[in-house]
Each structure stands twice: as structure tokens, then as C-alpha cells.
Amino acid sequence: MIDELKTLLVDTENRIATITVNRPDKLNALKNNVLDDFRDVFRSIQDDEDVGGVVITGAGHKAFVAGADIGELNHLKQKSGERASQKGQSVFSWIESTGKPVIAAVEGYALGGGCELAMACHLRVASVTAKFGFPELRLGLIPGYGGTQRLARLVGKGRALEMILDGSPIDAGKALEFGLVNRVVKEGQAVAASREWMSKILTNGPIAMDKAIQAVHAAYPNRAQGFQEEARLFGLLCGTEEFKEGTDAFLQKRKPQFQNK
Ligand code: COA
């Protein structure tokens, strides 16, 4: 396993690698270097015979991941915004296409990029404290790390638009009803329950698991166009006053004042 990670903790036990996003003071918000670390760690896990499956979680009790880092987003312009979206998409697609099962263990907030990360995992276990949501529109943005595509596929178009347009987070019970999570467990139990579930999953044939993941993903061909469009629109928004106002307002801890078109 690689040992130069700045933002992730990795602990491997019983063939299960538990990856913890480790920025609890910023609710584990995804800075660019967190994405780099994810890419490196998944590259290494892919070839690591000691790892059969992966559990992803966030440090602290308050959040899984509260989204992309808004301080970093604030500086994006149209081109750099489109590239940032493409990078998030590509790292999360890398996670999704790993031939080993990946479970998101969610306690607390999984917002924006955090919910997108959870959706890139193959399975999701939430504790009763979990809150899933897409607050991007309040920032003058849209989900840009594959979220518009994966959410619609997981919960259906109507519920996806409900979550994105309304922006209010949903609790674990509603996420279960929506099909956004697979299991809900007691507070503080998401990681333990995910590891336990993974131990059972890992009794299956590893080659067959890899092929099962590939085959299920093959049910959704022609994904490139949707991802491309998401990145283009994300970039376009990064060039607007609305985005500047939305992200400035968050950083200045005030409500955004959006102008009518
Ligand atoms: N990017 C950067 N910093 C973030 C962040 C994000 N997405 N989410 C939280 N933080 C930081 C806060 O700025 C704060 O930092 P500070 O202590 O230096 O001021 C710290 O994490 C704690 O967050 P805070 O807002 O004080 O906690 P809270 O309990 O009052 O609210 C949330 C929790 C999740 C409701 C709130 O942090 C929030 O709305 N975060 C942004 C969510 C979002 O829009 N995500 C989508 C991004 S694309």
C-alpha cells in the first residue's frame, strides 16, 4: 500500500481496506489533493492481492464528506471549472470501475461531492445520523463529479430533480426509501456494519465479483455523453456572477443574493 497520502488514512485488516477521508475540521470537504490521493490509493488497491474489498468513510462524527472544497471552487473560471469537473468524474469513475467491491459507510453529512463519492461506491451503508443532499444550486452550481448522472440512475429522474432543485438534505430513512442507500444502521455503526457486510461478500469468488461489477455497469452504456454535458455545464456556471455570489456567500457565512435572469 502506498505511504505518501496526505488526506486519507488507509487501514487494511482481514483483506478489507478502510479508507478514511481525514479533514474533520472542514467536514472532510474534497480538496483537489483528496482526489489525487483517492486516485493513487485505488490504483494501488487494484493490484494489491492483500485487499479484497474497500470501505470508504469520513473522519469525525459529523460528516462523511460535506462536498467539494468551496474555498477551492471559488477560484474556478469556465475552463478550469470544466477541467475540475472532469477530474472529479474521472476519479469517481475509477472508484466505480474497481474490480473489488467498495462500500460507502456514511455517518453525518454526505453532501454534494460527498454524496457523489458515496454513489460512486458499489454499496452504501448509512447510520441514522446520515444526511444526503445536493446544495450546489445554492452555490450557483450543479453537481459536477458525475452526480447528475448517477443520482438519476439510482433514484430515478423525478427524485433526482427533487433532491437537486430543492437542495434540502434527506435523512437515512428517506434515502433508504429512495434506494439511495442499501442499509441503515445505528449511530456510530456504519463502518463496523460495512466491514461485517464486506466480510460476507468476500467469501464469493473474486473473479466473479469483478465480472459482476463490469456486467452491471454494462447495463448503462453510452454514459460518456451525459458526463461530458455535466462537465460542460459545470464549467459554464463557473464563469457566472451567480456562482461567484453563491460561493462568496458561503465563505463569508451569509445568504446568497441571486439576481433574477
Ligand atoms: N468546503 C469547504 N469548507 C467546508 C465545506 C465545504 N464543502 N463544508 C464545511 N466546511 C467548513 C466550514 O467552512 C467550517 O470551516 P471553519 O470552521 O473554518 O469556518 C467547517 O467546515 C465546519 O462547518 P460549519 O459550516 O461551521 O458546520 P455546520 O454544522 O454549521 O454546518 C453544513 C454543516 C454541512 C450544513 C455546512 O458546513 C455546509 O453547508 N457546508 C457546505 C455544503 C455544500 O454546499 N456542499 C457542496 C459543495 S459542492
Better-scored residue on pLDDT, 220 or 250: 250
Confidence of residue 1 (pLDDT cuts 50, 70, 90): low
CA of 27 to the centre of ligand 1 (A): 6
Q: Measured between alpha carbons, how far is 193 from 199 in angstroms, rounded to an integer? A: 10
Q: Among 7, 23, 27, 111, name the best residue to mutate to test ligand 1's pocket (greatest count of ligand atoms within 8 A of Cβ).
A: 27
Looking at ligand 1, which atom is closest to the CA of residue 111?
45
Tens digit of pLDDT for each residue in 236-248?
Answer: 999 999 999 999 9
Question: Is residue 43 classed as helix, strand or coil in its secondary structure?
Answer: helix
Average pLDDT, the chain: 96
Cα dihedral across residues 234, 240, 246, 247: positive or negative: positive
pTM of the complete model: 0.98
In this structure, the residue with its CA closest to atom 21 of ligand 1 is 26
Q: What is the pLDDT at residue 3?
A: 65
136 is catalytic: yes
Rg of the chain over Cα atoms, rounded to whole angstroms, equals 18
Catalytic one of 136, 187, 242, 245: 136
Q: What is the pLDDT at residue 222?
A: 83
The CATH number of the domain covering residues in 8-201: 3.90.226.10
Q: Measured between alpha carbons, how far is 19 from 96 in angstroms, rounded to an integer? A: 15
Looking at ligand 1, which atom is closest to the CA of residue 62?
29
Catalytic one of 4, 116, 196, 229: 116
Confidence of residue 72 (pLDDT cuts 50, 70, 90): very high
Q: Measured between alpha carbons, how far is 215 from 137 in angstroms, rounded to an integer? A: 34
Tens digit of pLDDT for each residue in 131-144?
Answer: 999 999 999 999 99
116 is catalytic: yes
Report residues whose beta carbon is within 6 angstroms of any ligand 1 atom. Answer: 26-27, 29, 66-71, 109, 111-113, 135-136, 139
Phi, psi of 109 (to 5 degrees): -70, 130
Confidence of residue 73 (pLDDT cuts 50, 70, 90): very high
In this structure, the residue with its CA closest to atom 6 of ligand 1 is 69
Share of the chain above pLDDT 70, in %: 98
Q: Measured between alpha carbons, how far is 14 from 27 in angstroms, rounded to an integer? A: 28
Q: What is the pLDDT at residue 223?
A: 87
Every domain of the chain and the residues it spans? 8-201
Q: What is the pLDDT at residue 25?
A: 96
In this structure, the residue with its CA closest to atom 27 of ligand 1 is 27
Contact 226, 115 (CB under 8 A): no
Q: Residue 14 region, left (φ>0) first, then alpha (ψ -120 to 50), else beta?
A: left
Mean pLDDT for the stretch of residues 118-123: 98
In this structure, the residue with its CA closest to atom 15 of ligand 1 is 26
Cα dihedral across residues 74, 121, 170, 147: positive or negative: positive
Q: Are strands 16-21 and 183-185 parallel, antiparallel or unpaired?
A: unpaired
Tens digit of pLDDT for each residue in 153-189?
Answer: 999 999 999 999 999 999 999 999 999 999 999 999 9
Looking at ligand 1, which atom is closest to the CA of residue 109?
34
Which of 3-12, 49-58, 252-261 is most confident?
49-58
Entry field: residues in the chain: 261
Tens digit of pLDDT for each residue in 198-237?
Answer: 999 999 999 999 999 999 999 988 889 999 999 999 999 9
Q: What is the pLDDT at residue 4?
A: 81
Query: How many CB atoms sit inside 10 A of residue 260's CB?
Result: 3
Asked whether residue 93 carries a pLDDT value surpassing 90, the answer given is yes
CA of 69 to the centre of ligand 1 (A): 9
Share of the chain above pLDDT 90, in %: 95
